[in-house]
Structure 1
Amino acid sequence: MSDDQPQPRADEEAAAGPLRGIRVIELGQYISGPYASKLLADLGADVIKVEAPEGDPMRRWEGNGTMSPQFAAYNRGKRGVTLDLKSAEGLDDLLELARTADVLIENFRPGVAARLGFGPDVLHDLNPRLITCSITGFGGGGPYAKRPAYDTVISAVGAMYSQVVPADTLRPLGPAFSDLLSGLSASQAVLAALHARSERGEAGEGEHLEVSMVGSLIDFLTEAASTFLETGQVAGPDSRPRRAQAYACVGSDGKAFVIHMSVPEKFWTGLVAVLGAPELASDSRFDTREGRVHNYDALDAELKAITERMPRQHWLDALAAADIPHGPLNTVADLFDDPQVASMGLVEEITGHDGTPLRVPAPSTIFHRSGRPALHAAPGLGADNERVLSERTPA
Structure 2
Amino acid sequence: MDIGNTSSKLPLQPFRVLDLTRVRAGPTAVRQLADWGADVVKIEEPIDEGSETEMGGVRLGPDYQNLHRNKRSLTLNLKSPEGVRILKELAKSADVVVENYRPDVKTRLGINFEALSAVNPRLIYASISGFGQDGPYARRPGYDQIIQGMTGMMSVTGIPGHGLVRAGVAIADTTAGMYAAMGILMALLERERTGKGQWIQTSLLESLLSVMDFQCARWLVAGEVPKQAGNDHPTIIPTGNFNTRDGMICICVSGRVMWSRLCKTLRREEWLTDSRFETNKARSLHRDELNAELNEIFSGQTTKHWIALLNDAGLACGAVNNIQQAFEDEQVQHLGVRWAVDHPQIGEIGLVGQPYRTSLHRAELSRVAPMPGEHTTEILLSAGLTQAQILELKEANVI
> How high is the TM-score relative to the length of structure 1?
0.89
1:6 corresponds in structure 2 to none
C-alpha distance in structure 1 between counterparts of 2:6 and 2:59, whole Å = 31
Say whether 1:219 aligns with 2:210.
yes
Alignment of 1:25-174 (within 5 A): 25-54=18-47, 64=57, 66-166=59-159, 167-174=161-168
1:262 corresponds in structure 2 to 254
> How high is the TM-score relative to the length of structure 2?
0.88
Counterpart contact for 1:218–1:225, Cα < 8 Å: yes
Say whether 1:349 aligns with 2:337.
no
Counterpart contact for 1:258–1:329, Cα < 8 Å: yes
Residue type of the alignment partner of 1:71: Y
Counterpart contact for 2:236–2:280, Cα < 8 Å: no
C-alpha distance in structure 2 between counterparts of 1:347 and 1:303, whole Å = 35
Counterparts in 2 of 1:355 and 1:53: CA distance versus 1, 3 Å: same
C-alpha distance in structure 1 between counterparts of 2:367 and 2:287, whole Å = 47
**Match of 2:10, SS?**
coil
- Structure 1: give runs of 5+ residues left out of the alignment: 1-11
2:393 corresponds in structure 1 to none
C-alpha distance in structure 1 between counterparts of 2:240 and 2:200, whole Å = 40
2:174 corresponds in structure 1 to 180
2:187 corresponds in structure 1 to 193
Say whether 1:19 aligns with 2:49.
no
Aligned-pair CA distance for 1:169: 2.9
Counterpart contact for 1:353–1:380, Cα < 8 Å: no
Aligned-pair CA distance for 1:256: 1.1
**Which stretch of structure 1 is more off in the superposition, 104-113 or 270-279?**
270-279
Aligned-pair CA distance for 1:171: 4.3
Any idea what the Cα deviations from partners look like across 1:321-362, whole Å, max 9, x if unmatched? 111111111211101111111111222222326262222122
C-alpha distance in structure 2 between counterparts of 1:374 and 1:68, whole Å = 17
C-alpha distance in structure 2 between counterparts of 1:87 and 1:300, whole Å = 63
Aligned-pair CA distance for 1:185: 0.6
C-alpha distance in structure 2 between counterparts of 1:62 and 1:87, whole Å = 23
C-alpha distance in structure 2 between counterparts of 1:293 and 1:333, whole Å = 34
Counterpart contact for 1:24–1:103, Cα < 8 Å: yes
C-alpha distance in structure 2 between counterparts of 1:248 and 1:65, whole Å = 36
**Match of 2:234, SS?**
helix
Say whether 1:287 aligns with 2:278.
yes
1:242 corresponds in structure 2 to 234
Residue type of the alignment partner of 1:229: L
2:388 corresponds in structure 1 to none
Aligned-pair CA distance for 1:145: 1.8
Sequence identity (%):
32
Counterparts in 2 of 1:65 and 1:26: CA distance versus 1, 3 Å: closer
C-alpha distance in structure 2 between counterparts of 1:141 and 1:13, whole Å = 42
Counterpart contact for 1:37–1:187, Cα < 8 Å: yes
C-alpha distance in structure 2 between counterparts of 1:224 and 1:47, whole Å = 36
1:311 corresponds in structure 2 to 302
Counterparts in 2 of 1:273 and 1:223: CA distance versus 1, 3 Å: same
**Which stretch of structure 1 is more off in the superposition, 69-78 or 178-187?**
69-78
Counterparts in 2 of 1:142 and 1:176: CA distance versus 1, 3 Å: same
